[in-house]
Amino acid sequence: MYLIDGPVLLAEALASQVEIETLYVEPEALNHESVWAARAAEIAVREVTRGALKKVLDLGTPQDMVAVARQSGATLDGAIGAALASERPLLVLVELQDPGNAGTLIRVAEASGCAGVVLTERTVDLYNPKTVRATAGALFRVLAVTDVGIDEVLTSCEGAGLATWATVVLDGAAAENAPLSGAGALLVGSEAHGLDAGVVQRCQVPLTIPMEGEVESLNAAVAGAVVLFEASRQRRAVEPRTAEASS
């Protein structure tokens, strides 16, 4: 189970048909349209005292309603299968620690057309209220797998024939020069240390973003976004030719 706080995220969750068990609401929000929508969906609504939610939510600005929702039951094999079937990337977050970065990358995964997202062990909790908020609703629509060992991810990708791409600071191929139009797993490493050298060695294509000036590296979320949108650009370039060939 996990928590969804505030009317905006609640509305997104209801529209995405997230399985919500209970909605807890402070008195001043009982007549909000999101609460009526929850009642219409036959979700149990419970009134709590003013200020009660601030005590349970680890957020700087908690709101006046919070829903308890059921977590996704997605599996690694299912995510890899979805990437292969759709010929789209699978984003793998390897030991990212910042909820904002993880949430942003899940939003990027949806916006760039990823088949899904995998969060490895020692990555920030996908269902941490801060991470959930940072996804801005994308969590409700993106296939997401959590708490998988990186060795299991790489072994499963190798077994299924899914290409693996590693983001590295130096000596990788520029994303625009790499073949990213099809299925593949894009690995993004931790904010502090990036990907372990052993992990990079097991990946088929290391990717480096060419940069000017004195900048040594980019924020993990920015780096992941650059590569994923390049993959999206390459797919758009290929799709018209594919459509012409089949006509």
Q: Using the predicted structure, report yes or no on whether residue 108 has a pLDDT greater than 90.
A: yes
Mean pLDDT on 210-236: 90
| pLDDT given for residue 58 in this prediction | 67
| pLDDT given for residue 80 in this prediction | 98
- The answer to whether 88 touches 114, Cβ cutoff 8 Å, is yes
Residues of the chain with CATH 3.40.1280.10: 76-246
% of the chain with per-residue pLDDT over 70: 95
| pLDDT given for residue 12 in this prediction | 94
- The answer to whether 83 touches 58, Cβ cutoff 8 Å, is no
Class of the CATH-defined domain 76-246: alpha beta
% of the chain with per-residue pLDDT over 90: 79
Least confident of 1-15, 45-59, 182-196, 215-229: 45-59
| pLDDT given for residue 140 in this prediction | 96
Whole-Å CA distances, 35 to 15, 129, 230: 13, 19, 40
Least confident of 55-59, 113-117, 224-228: 55-59
Report residue 127's pLDDT band, with 50, 70 and 90 as the boundaries: very high
Q: Cα separation of 13 and 22, whole Å? A: 13
Q: Cα separation of 50 and 152, whole Å? A: 46
| pLDDT given for residue 245 in this prediction | 52
Q: For the chain, how big is the Rg over CA atoms in Å?
A: 20
Locus of tokens 């909790």: 125
| pLDDT given for residue 192 in this prediction | 86
| pLDDT given for residue 242 in this prediction | 52
Strands 184-188, 20-25: parallel, antiparallel or unpaired by DSSP?
Answer: unpaired
Report residue 241's pLDDT band, with 50, 70 and 90 as the boundaries: low
51-99 per-position pLDDT tens digit:
888 877 766 677 889 999 999 889 999 999 999 999 999 999 999 999 9
Chain CA centroid to CA 228, Å: 12
Residues of the chain with CATH 3.30.1330.30: 2-69
Predicted model pTM? 0.90
Mean pLDDT on 196-223: 90
Residue 87 token pair: 């010929």
Report residue 114's pLDDT band, with 50, 70 and 90 as the boundaries: very high
Considering only CA atoms, which of 158, 146, 161 is closest in space to residue 72?
A: 146
Q: Cα separation of 89 and 175, whole Å? A: 13
147-163 per-position pLDDT tens digit:
999 999 999 999 999 99
Report residue 239's pLDDT band, with 50, 70 and 90 as the boundaries: confident
Cβ neighbours, 10 Å, residue 5:
22
Report residue 212's pLDDT band, with 50, 70 and 90 as the boundaries: confident
3-class DSSP assignment, residue 222: helix
- The answer to whether 110 touches 144, Cβ cutoff 8 Å, is no
Q: Which fold has domain 2-69?
A: 60s Ribosomal Protein L30; Chain: A; (3.30.1330)
Q: Which residues pair with 205 in a beta bridge?
A: 165
Whole-Å CA distances, 195 to 104, 146, 186: 19, 18, 11
Q: Cα separation of 103 and 135, whole Å? A: 4
